[in-house]
Amino acid sequence: MVVVSAGYDLPVRDADGILGGRIALLLLTIAVFFAIDVVPRAGRRCEWERGRLRGAIAAVTRERWTGRRVGIVLLAIVAFYMTYFAYRNLKSFIPLITPQDLDGSLLRLERDSLGGTDPAEIVQSVLGTGVSAHVLSSAYLLFLAFVPISLGASLIASINPLPGLWWTLALGVNWTLGIASYYLVPSMGPAFVAPELFAGLPETGVSRLQDALLVERAEVLANPTATNAVQSIAGFASLHASIVFSAVVIAHLLHLARWLRIVLWTYLVLTLLATVYFGWHYVLDDVAGFAIGGLAVWISALLTGNRAALRRRRTT
């Protein structure tokens, strides 16, 4: 980010509040899971006697939250947000460095593969354009909260730091490989180059977000040195698909609760449908997302020592 910013004389921005609202959500999540981790144990220890509860909470906190564990959690948070901050800025730089002109080829490839029909038209015709639109919109937008909440939960849920570090690094690898794919295959996505395919959809949170992204993109292109807007449109590959797929794979490898794995699989299916339904991505973008997500899981497992941790199962 620093090299590209200096080389092209582009400003580094935090216009979408990475260092503000999003980190506040993460810290709130950590506080909630910290309470879940400590308070019930303290309550059982003092048999929920109010006069002894405060002392029990302090004792459990000292036992479970050593300086080492606190340091690991803080380091993971800083590392994640440094990576994401760089990713967001590099994504914003894309149209100022290279034309995002491969949409025509991707559209033709999909249409030729389906005999002249667009995947979005098929999904819309099968699911309809009523309640389904709002359900899929909610599922897609949930991603904005899914990342910080899952990050906070993973760092708190186990006294063993390895699973949380695995997920934290997997997110960082996803961002890194994802931004590389944006530059290697510069595209915008069907909704932004063929809006007629999505004209029959009702207004949803997704449609409002897409309109807002187009406005921000125009502002950045009109004034590349402005510091109050970021460009957020990039098609290949789908990081929604890659990150949720990484979550599903790690959940299975760690043998997490069956209900949680079912929820994650359901969320993955809804996310994939939403990417095509609303034209965020081509089907090929989702396929590439799966490849990135799987590679991110493997790389991060090697770098955080989780191959050995998998053999030992979880330590709780």
3-state secondary structure labels for all residues of the chain = CHHHHHHCCCCCCCCCCHHHHHHHHHHHHHHHHHHHHHHHHHHHHCCCCHHHHHHHHHHHHHHHCCHHHHHHHHHHHHHHHHHHHHHHHHHHHHHHHCCCCCHHHHHHHHHHHCCCCCHHHHHHHHHCCCHHHHHHHHHHHCHHHHHHHHHHHHHHCCCCCHHHHHHHHHHHHHHHHHHHHHHHCCCCCHHHHCHHHHCCCCCCHHHHHHHHHHHHHHHHHHCCCCCCCCCCCCCCCCHHHHHHHHHHHHHHHCCCCHHHHHHHHHHHHHHHHHHHHCCCCCHHHHHHHHHHHHHHHHHHHHHCCHHHHHHHCCCC
Top-confidence residue, 118 or 19: 118
Q: State the CB neighbour count (10 A cutoff) for residue 305.
A: 12
pLDDT for res 153: 82
**Cα(1)–Cα(14) distance, rounded to whole angstroms?**
13
49: pLDDT confidence band, cut at 50, 70 and 90? confident
Residue 250 contacts residue 294 (beta carbons within 8 Å): no
* Residues 6+ positions from 279 with CB-CB distance below 8 Å: 120, 189, 190, 191, 192, 194, 195, 197, 198
pLDDT beyond 50 at 316: no
314: pLDDT confidence band, cut at 50, 70 and 90? very low
pLDDT for res 16: 65
pLDDT beyond 60 at 311: no
Query: Which of 20-34, 58-72, 154-168 reaches the highest mean pLDDT?
Result: 58-72
pLDDT beyond 60 at 313: no
pTM of the shown model: 0.85
pLDDT beyond 80 at 88: yes
Tens digit of pLDDT for each residue in 93-114?
999 998 888 988 998 888 888 8
Top-confidence residue, 116 or 29: 116
pLDDT for res 64: 86
Overall average pLDDT of the 173-192 stretch: 94
Q: Report the chain's mean pLDDT, rounded to a whole number.
A: 87
264: pLDDT confidence band, cut at 50, 70 and 90? very high
Tens digit of pLDDT for each residue in 215-261?
888 888 888 877 677 888 888 999 999 999 999 999 988 888 899 99
pLDDT beyond 60 at 67: yes
pLDDT beyond 70 at 281: yes
Identify the domain containing residue 65 by its residue range.
2-312
pLDDT for res 17: 66
The tally of domains found in the chain comes to 1
**Cα(177)–Cα(181) distance, rounded to whole angstroms?**
6
Overall average pLDDT of the 28-45 stretch: 85
